[in-house]
Structure 1
Amino acid sequence: MRTARLLTGTALAVVAAGLGAAPAHGVGAGSIELYPASVAPGTEVTVNTAACGASDAVSGDAGAVGAGDFTLMPSAHEGHAVGQFTVPPSAQPGTYEIVARCSSGLRMTSDLVVTLTSTQERGQQVHPRGSVKTGVGGALGPDPVQTAAGVAALAVAAAGGTWLLHRRARGDGI
């Protein structure tokens, strides 16, 4: 029993030492992560890296997609730097290389995929128009005759209901 505890304790110590060596927050050295990695034109992209040291300044380059340079600032996660850029609305579909550089000279890249929405593929802007068929009428509905008929039906129903309630209150019955 004592030997089993000793072996279990040793095994746990080895596992804990191995876990302590894992990179923090899942970002490997020498890489940048893009959120989201697949975007439509006009979308803001967040760039994250833990590859540079805490004292390194980090600059980014999204010129391949037409967004130009951007700066990565230290984040709340120790050793991480975060920056943002916006994909221009005029960006064409394709895969673009986004670059980040540490002041120490380390260069990191990641691919950004730009896709078009179905509206952009057709080359036209879609604007809502017309009425919505919800089953509920409206004063500014598509047909003023139907609106007037609906108002008249409601008025007749209200008058009939009031007349029946008045007769019942007097005790005349229905």
Structure 2
Amino acid sequence: MRRTARLLTGTALAVTVAGLAAAPVSAQDAGSLEVFPSTAAPGADVTVNTSACAEYGSATGDAGAVGAGTFTLAASAHEQDAIGRFRVPPGAQPGTYEIVARCAGGRRAAGDLTVTLTPARERIQPRGHVNTGVGGALGPDPVQTAAGVAALAVAAAGGTWLLHRRARGDGI
């Protein structure tokens, strides 16, 4: 029993030490990189900014994950951010890509860019009536609606008359 407890304790300690050694603890991770727009289509211009590089003034951006290569982030008067731009390549595939900025002091900031095939401004939103064949009470043509209501009224009246005759025993 004592041997099993020692074995389990030793195993748990080894796993904990291995987990701590494998987990990257980096003081150089500075924070987030704001990507605007966060969703873009191939060929679109993307702006990134971060305040992580404010004390260094500039940074090198890496959009290689999406295929855009490197770009420069320069100091800006806007809240001491470093700002840069790149263009999403025309052949970029849909998906989410990590964009990274490395400051002159070694700090790193990262953000995500989602690539879609259709730009947000060109996405078509459905509106109006949809002809599904099921219909509704208020269709686009009032004449068709009135004809449908009249047909239902005639069918209901005829059915009621036939049921009344059958109930009286007159037969059909």
Q: TM-score w.r.t. structure 1 length?
A: 0.49
Higher RCO (C-alpha 8 Å, min separation 6): 2
